[in-house]
Amino acid sequence: MTDMDRYPNTEELLEFPCDYMFKAFGPNNSCFEKDVREAVASVIPLDLDKMRIRPSSKGSYVCVSVLVRLRSFEQLKTIYNRLREVEGLKFLL
């Protein structure tokens, strides 16, 4: 069960199309960054200018932020599901 399943009114909080920021936290390596990019790009076109990578204070982890234009709630759910499959994922917003 996902958070979106637990809170059935989640879809009503957004008006589509809309800009949406995904944030994935994981190990500071090129594989994690690439896997996050590919997970999002597998659902919708991704503008690399809208992707930001910020290392943690000790440099062990990164936050990969991706801003996308969503056209439907299904796209939102699918991207979250794909991101959950990324190896090394520690936290997802």
Q: Mind listing the pLDDT tens digit for each residue in 17-44? A: 999 999 999 999 989 999 999 999 999 9
Residue 11's pLDDT is 73
Per the domain annotation, does 16 fall within a domain? no
Per the domain annotation, does 4 fall within a domain? no
Residue 13's pLDDT is 85
Per the domain annotation, does 81 fall within a domain? yes
Per the domain annotation, does 14 fall within a domain? no
Residue 3's pLDDT is 55
Token digits for 38?
Answer: 């590919």
How, if at all, do strands 61-70 and 18-27 pair?
Answer: antiparallel
Residue 6's pLDDT is 62
Burial class (CB in 10 A: 0-12, 13-18, 19+), 24: buried
Q: Which domain holds residue 60?
A: 30-93
Closest by alpha carbon to 18, among 73, 66, 82, 92?
73
Per the domain annotation, does 58 fall within a domain? yes
CA distance 51 to 3: 24
pLDDT greater than 70 at residue 4:
no
Per the domain annotation, does 15 fall within a domain? no
Quick one: which H or E segment has residue 31? helix 30-41
Residue 62's pLDDT is 98
Token digits for 58?
Answer: 């000790």
- Report pLDDT digits (tens) over 64-80: 999 999 999 999 999 99
Beta bridge partners of 4: none
Per the domain annotation, does 9 fall within a domain? no
Q: For the chain, what percent of residues have pLDDT higher than 70?
A: 89
How many domains, in total, are found in the chain? 1
Per the domain annotation, does 84 fall within a domain? yes
